[in-house]
Structure 1
Amino acid sequence: MSDPTTPESTETAGRVIVLDVVGLQPRHIDADRTPTLETYFPNDRVTDLRPPFPAVTVPVQTTLATGRGPDAHGDVSSGEYDRERDAVAFWERDRDGRDRLWETASDEAGLTTGVLNFQHLIGTSADVAVTPSPIEDENNDILEMNCWTNPDGFYDDLREELHHFPLHNYWGPGANEEGSSWILAAAREAIDRFDPDLLWIYVPHLDYVGQSDGPSSDAFAAELETVDDLLADFLAFVSGTDRWDETALTLVSEYGFHDVDRPLFPNRALREAGLLETTADGDVDISVSDAFAMVDHQIAHVYANEGAVGAAREALAGLAGVDAVLDESGKAERGIDHPNAGDFVLVAEPNAWFQYYWWDDRANAPPYATEMDIHAKPGFDPCELFFGDEGLVSLDASKVSGSHGRVDESAVGCFGLGGPAAPALAGDGPVDATDVTPTLAELLGVEGALSMAFDGTSRLRQ
């Protein structure tokens, strides 16, 4: 077995394993807190990763896996507003026409590819895929836990070996290391059964404490050790496999966190201005509203009817804690000038974040506000990480201590190469998120076989 601390310079790798460890930054990798990561990805093999704007899950994931920015691929938030239907949907699970590296490398270059727990996987052509897809009733209540997989029946095998995917530990008040542990165990099964040439693994564990307690907390420092322990078991397994000598490990993180102490409520301001309307049960009625804000951490896309944009901007002009209001030129400057983006976009100050609430009195909150109902809420709700006094989920936005979405030097992600088949990185500067897919394509030796157009470039030094 090769020494993981001494990567060799090779033209291509026979196998690439991507560890997508959300919330990890280069400064977190050291011999004391994360000795496993420091062993496989020493300091000279890791650099900053600059996420696209906004630095939230779906835009960053799509950029990492396509090599294109949000202005090209159109994922401008983890939610989507359908202007024709006047409807917002967060965390929809279908592929919906997206072509990522694992699809094109499988379809066009003949590689065996795999991906675990990325967003928008249902319908992917990756040879191996796993994504949570619980069976729900018309009220989005879970009737039975399930995962959508390639190949068909793979979840049945995983369930026999690992039991059901622990959905309630993957997100919500009970979120803990069990979700990441199950994903990494499923990755071992994927390697044992299919041994894909490219395997992309989403490891969400730090995302929970990054939001609940913030990146400067003792709790975050403690969970760095936990995620390192999880990766230690997985990497010990990988380094014992037959293809280890031809394996390149890639470490990516989608974003870093900001410490926050200030929730902002743009929809309250729009309602007070008479621009946002609600139904009898307290839900927002987008179809009859002149404006509303689809919030996602530190970003808020504001959509307004024709003629109401000026009134919406005026209603939000005095909202303390807003750092920037992006008009058409501002959206273009930040690479988010796409029809899916809001008519204008709010960016919070570093210590602030946007919550979707439009009510002041809890008695006027919609029924789903205190429930785990990620698809019904027209905005991302980190309060789902806390148990509530009046339901499963807290309505106390002051509990949230971490957020992301701004693209600041203090909240970059990370990129690293390790393992016996990993060449060195070219250049000393940060890797742009658009550079990741072209770098992986070159590492796999398939860049010339793919029809994908990249905004970024490979960062390998052979």
Structure 2
Amino acid sequence: MAEPPGAAGGPGSSETSEPTAGRVVVLDVVGLQPEHVSADRTPELDAALEEVIPSEPAFPALTVPAQTTLATGRSPAEHGDVSSGEYDRERDAAAFWERDRGGRDRIWETAREAGLTTGALFFQHLIGTDADVAVTPSPIEDEDNNMLEMNCWTNPDGLYDDLRAEYGHFPLHNYWGPTANEESSRWILSAASEAVERFDPDLLWVYVPHLDYAGLRHGPGPELEAELPVVDELVGGFLATLRGDDRWDETAVAVVGEYGFHGVDTPVLPNVALREAGLLETESADGGSAGSTEVDLPGSDAFAMVDHQVAHVYADGDAVEEARELLASLDGVDVVLDGGGSGGPDKAAYGVDHPNAGDLVLVAEPSAWFAYYWWTDRAEAPPYAAEMDIHAKPGFDPCELFLGEEGLVSLDPSKVGGSHGRTDPGTYPAFGLGGPAVSGVELGEGTGSEGAVDARAIAPTIAALLGVADAVDAEVPPLVGDETEGSRG
């Protein structure tokens, strides 16, 4: 696996300069890679972007770590988002997707503090942002996580009511789960067009999830290829909205891909191994059938919080070495990272040396991924295992993309065809830049490997285009500088 960018390069410095663009729109087309952008595959994106280059993501290449790095210019070792989940060591509890904004200052928050109008749509952990326009799903649920009514948290208050009146409820079941498809991207891009018309933001970041579903279900291949013209058409419709307003001549369009996919055929079950070794304990699951179990986190000596091709193992001090030897021997485990005391690879070298990280961090082989299961007998599965319940599961579950045999979602990990988390050059995502405001502007060299731009350079580059480069405290300098020409319209 390529050495992550967090391990190389030094901090860059930048100063406020004359802006190149009056408006920057970032399309976060998750799963998009440079080779996907061409006149025959994606003509709208190809025509919109002057330059498309690979971006080397920070390790781990997972949703929340990748997004926070892209939007802050910092590595996970600095910003602390080491997974899409969190493990609370004080409470011995694992939770996915439950953070709000917290102390994060992403580019739309820092640019707003610098005097710009900003917006972000469907980025993770938006609740609490002070961006001028923001939309993120926040369904109203009962105490058992059953949805009572679809809703979105927004800035300003009441915006979701207006969007619902125009476009209907946000199609949450097309955003994740067995029926996830392009309709979620369609709704989000419609909301983005509405945001441009109503709020005229100087910076707008839009998450477009569509390709992720094909990538996770099938991996790279014909199924993902078939979805490229679909997402391209949706993006093209949004770009037509931008071209039709009076700020088009001062607009820059940036496209980021977050990560690419490995084809996988080997699910790895670290919690089964820990349980069989007596390091992980279980207890009877509340509300489950006879024999149904739940992991007893306080009573366990070690537990693996899994997220695609990366697993964070939280272990009691006297169990770390036993867990390391056990898990390193599993088929599908490529690397075991620690604090540097074993003489092997350490977390610091991978840019993930943060207190939020596990005592051990497992990296899967390219064709493998980690499943959260601690059982092999389905009778022991907890009641939420066959349900679409992303908050109850103490690990990421891509099986939720497949209809189940016994419940809503599948319990067959062999169905999963794609995964991510490693930072291999063949899976580098795209970074593209276009629009009239950057016509003729050349991107400087990034500090990533294989000719790629370091993902940490993207936030400062966007800030530099807007003339607020000093607002982003990034670890590397922007790809454009004072020599770029242009001014705000």
Are 1:169 and 2:169 counterparts? no
Q: Distance in 2 between matches of 1:96 and 1:284?
A: 28
Q: Distance in 2 between matches of 1:153 and 1:85?
A: 36
Q: Within 5 Å, give how 1:425-436 maps onto structure 2.
A: 425-427=443-445, 429-436=451-458
Q: SS at 1:367's partner residue?
A: coil
8 Å contact 2:445–2:453 — kept in the other structure? Answer: no
**1:403 Cα deviation from its structure 2 partner:** 0.2
Which ranges in structure 1 are unaligned for 5 or more consecutive residues? 1-9
Q: Distance in 2 between matches of 1:93 and 1:152?
A: 20
User: Which of 25, 41, 59 pairs up with 2:33?
Assistant: 25
Q: Distance in 2 between matches of 1:317 and 1:351?
A: 16
Q: Give CA-to-partner distance per residue, 1:60-119, whole Å, 9 cap, x none.
A: 100000000000000000000000011111011410111111011112x11000000000
Q: Distance in 2 between matches of 1:222 and 1:57?
A: 23
Q: SS at 2:282's partner residue?
A: coil
**1:430 Cα deviation from its structure 2 partner:** 1.4
Residue 80 of structure 2 corresponds to which residue in structure 1?
Answer: 74
**1:11 Cα deviation from its structure 2 partner:** 4.5
8 Å contact 1:327–1:343 — kept in the other structure? Answer: yes
**1:317 Cα deviation from its structure 2 partner:** 2.8
Q: SS at 1:415's partner residue?
A: strand
Q: Distance in 2 between matches of 1:205 and 1:285?
A: 36
Are 1:90 and 2:96 counterparts? yes
**1:296 Cα deviation from its structure 2 partner:** 0.3
Q: Give CA-to-partner distance per residue, 1:275-327, whole Å, 9 cap, x none.
A: 11112121111011110100000000000012111121122132011110111
8 Å contact 2:28–2:255 — kept in the other structure? Answer: yes
Q: Distance in 1 between matches of 2:476 and 2:218?
A: 34
User: Which of 299, 306, 316 pairs up with 2:317?
Assistant: 306
Q: Distance in 2 between matches of 1:257 and 1:241?
A: 36
**1:376 Cα deviation from its structure 2 partner:** 0.7
Q: Partner letter of residue 200 of structure 2? A: D
Q: SS at 1:178's partner residue?
A: helix
**1:427 Cα deviation from its structure 2 partner:** 2.9
Residue 363 of structure 2 corresponds to which residue in structure 1?
Answer: 347
Q: Distance in 2 between matches of 1:241 and 1:79?
A: 40
Q: Distance in 2 between matches of 1:91 and 1:424?
A: 37
**1:386 Cα deviation from its structure 2 partner:** 0.1
User: Which of 423, 431, 454 pairs up with 1:407?
Assistant: 423
Residue 3 of structure 1 corresponds to which residue in structure 2?
Answer: none
Q: Partner letter of residue 320 of structure 1? A: D
Q: Distance in 2 between matches of 1:316 and 1:441?
A: 43
Q: Distance in 2 between matches of 1:253 and 1:317?
A: 31
Residue 283 of structure 2 corresponds to which residue in structure 1?
Answer: 279
Q: Give CA-to-partner distance per residue, 1:396-440, whole Å, 9 cap, x none.
A: 000000000000001101111100001321138311111011101
Q: Distance in 1 between matches of 2:445 and 2:388?
A: 45
Q: Within 5 Å, give how 1:206-355 maps onto structure 2.
A: 206-216=211-221, 218-281=222-285, 282-329=293-340, 330-355=346-371
8 Å contact 2:306–2:396 — kept in the other structure? Answer: yes
Q: Distance in 2 between matches of 1:132 and 1:339?
A: 29
Q: Within 5 Å, give how 1:30-179 maps onto structure 2.
A: 30-42=38-50, 45-107=51-113, 109-179=114-184
Q: Give CA-to-partner distance per residue, 1:308-366, whole Å, 9 cap, x none.
A: 11121122132011110111131000000000000011100000000000101000000
Residue 4 of structure 1 corresponds to which residue in structure 2?
Answer: none
8 Å contact 1:417–1:424 — kept in the other structure? Answer: no
**1:34 Cα deviation from its structure 2 partner:** 0.5
Q: Distance in 1 between matches of 2:465 and 2:392?
A: 41
Q: Distance in 2 between matches of 1:188 and 1:377?
A: 35
Q: Distance in 2 between matches of 1:189 and 1:276?
A: 50
Q: Partner letter of residue 445 of structure 2? A: G
**1:460 Cα deviation from its structure 2 partner:** 1.4
Q: SS at 2:317's partner residue?
A: coil
8 Å contact 1:265–1:355 — kept in the other structure? Answer: yes
Q: Distance in 2 between matches of 1:31 and 1:86?
A: 51
8 Å contact 2:375–2:381 — kept in the other structure? Answer: yes
Residue 16 of structure 1 corresponds to which residue in structure 2?
Answer: 24
User: Which of 394, 398, 413 pairs up with 1:378?
Assistant: 394
| Structure 1 residue ranges (4+ consecutive) displaced by more than 4 angstroms after TM superposition | none
Residue 5 of structure 2 corresponds to which residue in structure 1?
Answer: none
Are 1:417 and 2:433 counterparts? yes
Which ranges in structure 2 are unaligned for 5 or more consecutive residues? 1-17, 286-292, 341-345, 485-489
Q: Distance in 2 between matches of 1:67 and 1:340?
A: 19
Q: Partner letter of residue 16 of structure 1? A: V
Residue 387 of structure 1 corresponds to which residue in structure 2?
Answer: 403
Q: Distance in 1 between matches of 2:295 and 2:476?
A: 40
Q: Partner letter of residue 43 of structure 2? A: P
Residue 376 of structure 2 corresponds to which residue in structure 1?
Answer: 360
Q: How many residues align?
A: 447
User: Which of 189, 192, 201 pairs up with 1:196?
Assistant: 201
**1:443 Cα deviation from its structure 2 partner:** 0.3
Residue 445 of structure 1 corresponds to which residue in structure 2?
Answer: 467
Residue 3 of structure 2 corresponds to which residue in structure 1?
Answer: none
8 Å contact 1:34–1:228 — kept in the other structure? Answer: yes
CA RMSD for the aligned pairs?
1.0
Q: SS at 2:437's partner residue?
A: coil
Q: SS at 1:460's partner residue?
A: coil
Residue 412 of structure 2 corresponds to which residue in structure 1?
Answer: 396
8 Å contact 1:441–1:447 — kept in the other structure? Answer: yes
